Amino acid sequence: RIATTALALLMLSTLAQAGDNIRPDPGMWVGVTKLSVDRTNWRTMSDKRGCLTKEDATDWESNARRQIAAAQCSVQSLTVSMGKISGTISCANENQVQMKVDGRYDNRSYDIDLVSTSTIMMPPAAGGQAVPVKLYGKWTGRMVGVCS
């Protein structure tokens, strides 16, 4: 399973390398992950608050890359321009997940939409067939203050 906050931060770190020079500000961040099967009924899967220290903000790209690699995922393509982001992420896990992302960012927030497609194998009792699955997601993050 992919660490969604790390993935979002990895994308933002790529932005810094792409010339936008955007890096997350150190401080208290809140990140929310929501999923839907129909883009109508959203379920909050994660709502976390965490401190990004100055040291973490300096070295968070390598930490995020390690987490992404541990999830067997990689960024396949990424387009970044004037606060907007779009790209494709692939995961070589048992479900062969492909994610298309589209969103916006700055040094104090990010809002990223995703469409995830994968194939899951049904258990033998359910026919043992491969079934395509599509999920929609929203990743949002905001710096909300200083760390205490």
pLDDT per residue as tens digits for the range 24-81: 788 998 989 999 999 999 999 988 898 888 887 777 667 667 777 777 888 788 777 7
Q: What is the pLDDT of residue 40?
A: 92
Give percent helix, percent strand, percent coil of the chain, each to the nearest 5: 25, 50, 25
Two structure tokens written together for 70: 């541990």
Question: What average pLDDT does this structure show over 88-97?
Answer: 80
- CB 23, CB 57: distance < 8 Å: yes
> Beta-carbon neighbour count of residue 145 at 10 Å?
11
